[in-house]
Amino acid sequence: MNPRDVMNLAPVIPVLAFESVEQALEQSQALVAGGLPVLEITLRTACALDAIREVSNAIPDAVVGVGTVCNPRQLNESLEAGATFAVSPGATDALWQEAAATNTAMLAGTATISDVMRGMHYGFDAFKFFPAEINGGAAALKAFGGPLPDVAFCPTGGVKPGNLNEYLSLPNVLCAGGTWLTPKGATASEIETLARQAIELAKSGH
């Protein structure tokens, strides 16, 4: 898969930080059942690699990726665990080079035109825009579309149901990342409902 393949699978990519493998399996199944198969499991908790491995094996319909990748070692460990795409908060030359060398579908975090141009130098044309709201939100991405009409984005960071369609209405935004889909203490049924609501909300904006 390339980054755009991943971005076109669903309008929202849940950004996930699991405390246990059991939680990962339960919540991932709920999200997939609700229509959001693309899952970004972040390297923010100790069980992240195990969660990537187990969810990849147990839920065939899930497209499991890794988030919060900050260096080549983390990227390779995640790929070995079964991640099919990677997301980073930013990017170094070393990370760009490793992603290109491993043919990884990577959405590297960008916040400026210069960030994007550096990624384009390594052959990428799709990026995470992060943190989206702090860096100008939908207005900034609209402005990016002028000089960079062929570049696609997945805004993450401050994206919520209330502003989701401000982003998704832009031609250079293919999907958005969000943390609101797995609130603390939510049941699997509640998470599935939130996923379905996100799908319906995205449809209503198009």
Q: Which residues form the catalytic set?
A: 40, 128
Q: Are the beta carbons of 176 and 12 closer than 8 angstroms?
A: yes
Burial label, 32 (beta-carbon count in 10 A; 0-12, 13-18, 19+): buried
Q: How many CB atoms lie within 10 A of CB 4?
A: 15
Q: How many CB atoms lie within 10 A of CB 201?
A: 16
CA 39 to chain centre: 7
Structure-block tokens of residue 132? 């989206």
Tell me the torsion sign for CA atoms 85, 89, 95, 96. Answer: positive
Nearest to 124 by CA among 158, 88, 178: 88
d(CA 200, CA 175): 14
